[in-house]
Amino acid sequence: MIRYIEFFGPPLVGKSYLSDNFIKILARNYSVLKPRQLIIRYLISTNKKKKFFFYLIILLLINSNFYLKVKKKFFTKRVIRINKGKINFERKNISFKGRLNFKSFYNSRLKFISKKFISNKDLKIIKDKIYSLNTNQFNKNIYYYWTIENILAFEIAFDKNNNHVCVADEGILQRFFMLTNLTKDKKLISKISLIKKLNDKVIYLNPGVNNILNRLKERTKINNGFIYSNKKQVFDIRKKFKDFIEYSSVLINIKQISKSNEHLVIKNLQKWLNI
């Protein structure tokens, strides 16, 4: 049984679009969840405190597929940029979830269960690297819990009590790609023991530059998600992904797909995974 798949690649190569379509195909035969959905279900199933139950149910509702579709139109938008080696998460407005402090509660639960699923060594390396970044505390916190969330989703997917398939549009390798480039530490992934578990579970999307530039025009209009500063940054980031793939491939096998036609990509994925 497939337990976990994550998409990997530069911003605007269609990871989210392909992930959503791939989930629809998998859902014909499996129960499929996104990382946060899987973690919340795990938290509910293992919760022993009545005072947490309300928060967990609300979290489940506001991370449902229906709510996520509504959220894209009416709720929080966040622009992500990388400039001069610094990552910035630009806050656009405060969501319903933010007002009721569900994010802080969710992060506290991530921190709690991380002790069960992530080794102390890996946690220390991740925390030290992220909190040494040249950015403010707000950005560091976002990136830290983003990374922990992806790792926990992966580990929970392989928990003996889990019956769901987890599909991540951006997963563990994506987080470590960014952290590697921000810290300039090319040996970082070789220091993290869990990386080798990703063998044959990562799909690298690498279509042509024109596809990225066309999507950038649309992304700039809606002003949401990662936005390239200029055309040069598109080429620079693609080159960094290529370099990262080269030294990651020494540790794990990564499936690479360069086609830009979404139908052909999905068809190739089905053939590769034998579904």
Q: What is the pLDDT of residues 245-256, one digit of tens each?
A: 998 988 999 988
Predicted pLDDT at 60: 92
Is the pTM higher than 0.75?
yes
Q: How many domains does the chain have?
A: 1
**DSSP reduced 3-state for 165:** strand
Residues 87 and 143 sit within 8 Å (Cβ to Cβ):
yes
Please state, as a whole number, how many other Cβ atoms lie within 10 Å of the Cβ of residue 108. 12
Residue 257: strand pairing partners: 205
User: Could you tell me if 26 and 32 are in contact, meaning their C-beta atoms sit under 8 angstroms apart?
Assistant: yes
Q: pLDDT for 38-63, tens place per residue?
A: 999 999 999 988 889 999 999 999 89
Between CA 105 and CA 103 the distance in angstroms is 5
Please provide residue 226's backbone torsions phi and psi, each rounded to the nearest 5 degrees.
-70, 135
- Is the confidence at residue 14, as pLDDT, over 80? yes
CA distance 122 to 111: 14
Higher pLDDT, 83 or 228: 228
Which amino acid does the sequence have at 8?
A: F
Q: Report the mean per-residue pLDDT for the chain.
A: 85
CA separation (Å) from 154 to 26, 64, 167, 172, 225?
17, 19, 9, 8, 23
Q: Quote the longest CA-to-CA distance of the chain.
A: 53
Which is nearest to 148 in space by CA: 96, 191, 192, 186? 192
Per-residue pLDDT tens digits for 155-194: 999 998 999 999 999 999 999 999 999 999 989 999 999 9
Rg (CA), the chain: 18
Q: Which domain holds residue 206?
A: 4-273
Helices (H) and strands (E) in the chain, counts: 13, 8
225: β partners: 79
